Structure 1
């Protein structure tokens, strides 16, 4: 028989453990197998250890989850140049300790001179690389404005105190990990080619683990943001340098674009999976709608009975993913420009109807699946961080430059990378983007429009209380990675770290293939699925999930993805 331990006594017991005092076995068992991974006052899980440390220090100084998120965002702009940014954008899902929720859209926008056919040649074909590796690939950045708006609405500490740690990291330098050193070496030729006359991220010898990366120009830019807030980036010296950089490569962003950029507070997408409330991101994220569709699609099946990554489990999940991504291609876009049929897409009867064509005997060919129809309808590199504070305020933020290091073009004098988010638009109907995703009119290019995203920052409640904070980078695999991580906890009873570390698989309608991580499926499962017509493609890692679980004792338990340099820290 279990004896429930009140939260306050659990805290005392944890302190005794840390002090080296041995506790009775029954009490140790209630604290969990790894009490060092359970924190009471707050937790940060993000993609780089130095940034995680910054976030925890802000929490210790009395900052709340939003304060820590702002500090982590700017620290990642320094320590994670391939994805952390001030030159990109993202989404935030927020839940207060009292249960109030909100979402912030600081996604990039198309410049005013953008047009639907801007990446097509005279024959109407997509010009290779133009939406990825040129100055024309960049949307108007939203990250700085997003952090300013988040802090203005929910922050406690002074703005300058939140930006200062990133300035120190940029000015003094930080030690690069082996993974970052390898990434910098791998991309050196592109940095050199796309940045003539610049030396950013380059050195005379190869980068080695432990080398110091100093970024003086970026530090100066962050100083201006610290001192002048929004005007430190969207006006003045930094804006001048950004426009000058645009002019060197026929880029489209103008001072007027920068002046007119504003983040948008949006109503969260909310739904249920069994007894769990899912709070997630609305359009222009496709992630929230897709996640709820996926969860409802599999809800009636006994996944926990079948088991983790077993053939029946995989088959149901793949067939749900196939149908949801088909819907994504047609119906999802910027709601400020396109009427997204949110209610219709999330109607249980509609989702159930989509799964009726599922046949246990054989895979459903993607060629036979199109976006659904309903009455009344009118025609890799990203990063995520999850933070919870001692009052239970929770923040789930996914932010991106799109490709690794974005366009790989650095703003001369300002030291930050430009995004290549314009590739997330549909350059031409039916033509896939860099992640193999196809789209149509809903996600066509228009001036001032936000491009569709797969980012899926999410918060989960159970019984009216905070249960999980979760998200990941990964392009088109973001949605399925978040989906499978939630199932790993709820259906397969995994700890937060085990749920994050677990091997994943992914299907996105087109191309019609099940991509899996190495050893994600055993040979018997692969054989059963292959005989039913599924094309299994083992490959590289999928996603880098960073998540926090609230245990039944009220402690925060982190899951930092081992696929990257991701780090969990708490106090």
Structure 2
């Protein structure tokens, strides 16, 4: 349905930016357990004129937030950052959508909101994934009457596959933003309703927090890999930095000539080194100095020399990149990629974090609020919902944006756009993205063939290799013999892409076979 909304935007005279925002808004209706206007996003755009834009619509901590806000009675209440009134950051998705459209789109935000509102009002049948997420989250959704009224039956049981999910309040909200503009959301009726609910339920978000939210244009992370150029999202995304860092490390190895088990080993060791650096160095660049040296080629070469081809190498802590003191970056999830014949390319990641975010729906609005406060270091060294840990660079502060793994990425060859890619799945977003890029560049695969390849993921802590069982048994045994502790899984993640096929002179869309949905295009 989101793909259909994107192609409808093209048909109405829109370009790839319009199509991306149309899909994003529709996903907020039909895939609302993953993302929506109660959350945030990152958007990387290559416009037809050749200009490149990275738009930061990441959620922001309320002004009353503070480093120890989840320390209650001397102990960390790690559930409070995941569920309820203290979990949401101030949503940024709508601000980012509007900024992208004003800079590079042809249609207005209102043009794209109204079809999505119609879909919310008439409803859609719940698919297998949505039904499974509802079943797993129903107990927490029951605690919030406005959420329960939408997603659960009157007896408290969740909607099942095939049943119609109607979201009339969300339709009203979409139309109010279309008719009255973003002021209705960021300071007007929506902000006022949210602030009132927060005050009654122990939250801290205020009308002023919404009024103060701004989407930010940032300078993209730029790097290269085997003669290809990459344009990635900068901090507070850790994705762009560490996709670049891991590829920089891997550039020192002949991946395509390694046996499969050795390749998995080398890539895993590179992942570990990067995620150790992530835990220490990464945060909101407006609050913490994030070293540009993390994507330095010489630093990557130094890290590559630490990889033993015959055995696992322990990574006890982070490393120190060059010029770390002064050369710094300027101050569940959904991914979609779009492109058009004019040369507009978009990679867009959006999220409300874990399934159904904070589980809070502000009464009368239909909007699920995110639980992105859990993406801060609730306390430095305390794992979040994805078992990721962070240091002071990602500690909570008023107005700060939490670290994210979202990795919207554009790849170029000889200055021309080749690939738009990104993924969903918490920290595996980073590794899914880099694995697809490697399969395309190192192995010459098309995007659909690359997505069909089995995946693996290591995030340093916990020290385990998450790996799909589509690898043959002998390969898994060899990887284990190298010293890796395997966490076998049937499948994980969801990666999407669009690629330019120069031989056939056409754009090739690619949809991850692990999840429902479709790709569409010429």
Quick check: 1:221–1:232 contact (8 Å CA) kept in 2?
Answer: no
What secondary structure sits across from 2:43 in the alignment?
strand
Q: CA deviation at 1:198?
A: 4.8
TM-score for the superposition, normalised by structure 1: 0.87
The aligned runs of 1:298-447 (5 Å cut-off) are 298-306=250-258, 310-342=260-292, 344-367=293-316, 369-377=317-325, 381-447=332-398
Q: CA deviation at 1:177?
A: 1.7
Quick check: 1:66–1:154 contact (8 Å CA) kept in 2?
Answer: yes
Pairing 1:69–2:24 present = no
Pairing 1:448–2:399 present = yes
The aligned runs of 1:1-400 (5 Å cut-off) are 50-123=1-74, 125-195=75-145, 198-204=148-154, 207-306=159-258, 310-342=260-292, 344-367=293-316, 369-377=317-325, 381-400=332-351
Higher mean Cα deviation, 196-205 or 537-546? 196-205
What secondary structure sits across from 1:165 in the alignment?
helix
What secondary structure sits across from 1:324 in the alignment?
helix
Q: CA deviation at 1:526?
A: 2.1
Quick check: 2:124–2:164 contact (8 Å CA) kept in 1?
Answer: yes
- 2:426 pairs, out of 475, 481, 495, with 475
1:24 counterpart residue number? none
Q: Greater RCO between the two (CA within 8 Å, min separation 6)?
A: 1
Distance 1:206 1:250, change over 3 A: closer
Distance 2:334 2:110 in 1: 24
Distance 2:510 2:110 in 1: 30
2:494 counterpart residue number? 544
- Rg bigger for which structure? 1
Distance 1:493 1:244 in 2: 55
Distance 1:425 1:62, change over 3 A: same
Count of matched residue positions in the alignment of Structure 1 and Structure 2: 515
Higher mean Cα deviation, 443-452 or 69-78? 69-78
Quick check: 2:147–2:361 contact (8 Å CA) kept in 1?
Answer: no
**Runs of 4+, deviation exceeding 4 Å:** none
Distance 1:190 1:197 in 2: 10
Q: CA deviation at 1:291?
A: 0.7
Deviations 1:353-380 (A, max 9, x none): 112222123201233x43335455279x
Quick check: 1:289–1:346 contact (8 Å CA) kept in 2?
Answer: yes
Quick check: 1:454–1:478 contact (8 Å CA) kept in 2?
Answer: yes
Distance 1:232 1:191 in 2: 26
Distance 1:537 1:474 in 2: 16
Quick check: 1:546–1:566 contact (8 Å CA) kept in 2?
Answer: no
Gaps of at least 5 residues in structure 2 are: none
Quick check: 1:365–1:512 contact (8 Å CA) kept in 2?
Answer: no
- 1:496 pairs, out of 447, 466, 479, with 447
Quick check: 1:496–1:548 contact (8 Å CA) kept in 2?
Answer: yes
Distance 1:266 1:158 in 2: 23
Q: CA deviation at 1:300?
A: 2.5
1:36 counterpart residue number? none
Q: CA deviation at 1:135?
A: 0.9
Distance 1:548 1:238 in 2: 36
1:569 counterpart residue number? 520
Distance 2:118 2:402 in 1: 33
Q: CA deviation at 1:409?
A: 1.3
Distance 1:207 1:503 in 2: 32
CA RMSD of aligned residues (A): 1.7
Quick check: 1:171–1:216 contact (8 Å CA) kept in 2?
Answer: yes
Distance 1:197 1:363 in 2: 46
